[in-house]
Amino acid sequence: MSDKSLQRYDRQMRFAPLGEAGQTRLAQGRALVCGCGALGSVVANTLVRAGVGFVRIVDRDFLELNNLQRQVLFDEQDVADGMPKAIAAANKLRQINSAVTIEPVVTDVTHRNVAALAEDVDVIVDGTDNFAVRFLLNDYAVKHGKPWVYGGTIGAEGQTMTILPGETPCLACLLPEAPPPGTTPTCDTAGILGTIVGVIASIEANEALKILSGHSDTVSRKLTVIELWDNRLRQVDVSRLREQSNCRVCRHGQFDWLTGKLGSTSAVLCGRNAVQLSPPEGAAMSLDALTARLAGVGQVTRNQFLLRLSVDDCVLTVFPDGRTIVSGTDNLAAARTLHARYIGS
Ligand SMILES: [Zn+2]
């Protein structure tokens, strides 16, 4: 790397623990930001500005106006254009740092594609909004010895923990089972403040920067829990948890999410009054053919990345990977009915 290309990182290289050596390692580092909503957009923004060489941004969703309050990479034009979050994020971040290779992927992370998305990165950072994907990432990370950073927020509260497989406890050590759907608060029920998102995502990004710059030894060994509205900060010592727990993943090597034994391909989306319907393996959708087929059925709009059909008080958004997000209902059966009626299987 030439001196000129390092100039933009001057202020962070002056931070002694990082230095020029750490910066050079960052440039060779590869990160997967899994989910690019509130947490993910802060994480991706931080990693790209810091000069991480390769950042893959995966997100399954498109932008809505009520995202802008906390999803800092996006603007009103992105919403008006109906952009998928991964694409909008990549477009913005390429303008910010052209030296970073940014790879947006518009898809749902499943047991079928997690290896392809994660095998060539050095760290996985959690920007998801659901435990199904987190447990899948955890299974993959522990099985393949890949560091990953868990983070979650709701209301004004958030928590984060860094997992170094084989060294620190994993998410399943901490939380043996994923909470059943409908039992935990969501952005819909408890709301979400942009402030806690910024705090938790910055901690996550900071942990990723330590790992990518060769400072895994300084990674936190604690579960950090922050309640921002009441100014409560708590760090829970989890250093013995791996030995003490009878972990399905670490101790018994049962990767039930990774094998597909656990997890569902269809899901009610957090805080969205929407349902995602996923196709069988390998299915793809020709948006051109579908546009022609839907002529006269309802109001159809489309861009390069998705097609949108407004019909029966719902909006069906169809992606080329075969997924459909049905907005306007949180009822899985109703969403499936609409999908069968207008999109077909
Ligand atoms: Zn474990």
pLDDT digits (tens, 9 = 90+) for 208-228: 999 999 999 999 999 999 999
Cα 161 to middle of ligand 1, angstroms:
13
Q: Kindly report the backbone phi and psi dihedral angles of residue 54, in degrees, each rounded to the nearest multiple of 5, phi listed first.
A: -140, 130
Residue that the structure tokens 């907005």 belong to: 327
Cα 332 to middle of ligand 1, angstroms:
32
> For 173-199, what is the mean pLDDT?
81
Cα 106 to middle of ligand 1, angstroms:
29
Cα 192 to middle of ligand 1, angstroms:
29
Q: How confident is the model at residue 183 (pLDDT cuts 50, 70, 90)?
A: low
DSSP assignment, residue 279?
Answer: P
Cα 210 to middle of ligand 1, angstroms:
22
Global pTM value: 0.89
> For 134-148, what is the mean pLDDT?
97
| The pLDDT value given to residue 186 | 67
Rounded to whole angstroms, the Cα distance separating 48 from 91 reads 12
Cα 258 to middle of ligand 1, angstroms:
14
274 token code pair: 């929407």
Residue 165 has pLDDT above 70, yes or no: yes
Q: Helix and strand tally (H, E) in the chain? A: 14, 14
Burial (CB < 10 A; 0-12, 13-18, 19+), residue 261, is exposed
Cα 145 to middle of ligand 1, angstroms:
12
**Residue-wise pLDDT tens digits, 271-329:** 788 998 887 666 788 899 889 888 888 899 999 999 999 988 999 999 988 889 999 99
**Residue-wise pLDDT tens digits, 27-63:** 999 999 999 999 999 999 999 999 999 999 999 999 9
Axis crossing angle, helix 38-50 with helix 85-96, rounded to the nearest 10: 30
Cα 277 to middle of ligand 1, angstroms:
30
Indicate the SS3 state at residue 323.
coil
| The pLDDT value given to residue 135 | 95
Cα 212 to middle of ligand 1, angstroms:
23
Residue 66 has pLDDT above 60, yes or no: yes
- % of the chain at pLDDT higher than 90: 73
> For 94-113, what is the mean pLDDT?
96
Cα 221 to middle of ligand 1, angstroms:
14
Rounded to whole angstroms, the Cα distance separating 161 from 224 reads 6
**Residue-wise pLDDT tens digits, 247-261:** 999 999 999 999 988
| The pLDDT value given to residue 265 | 66
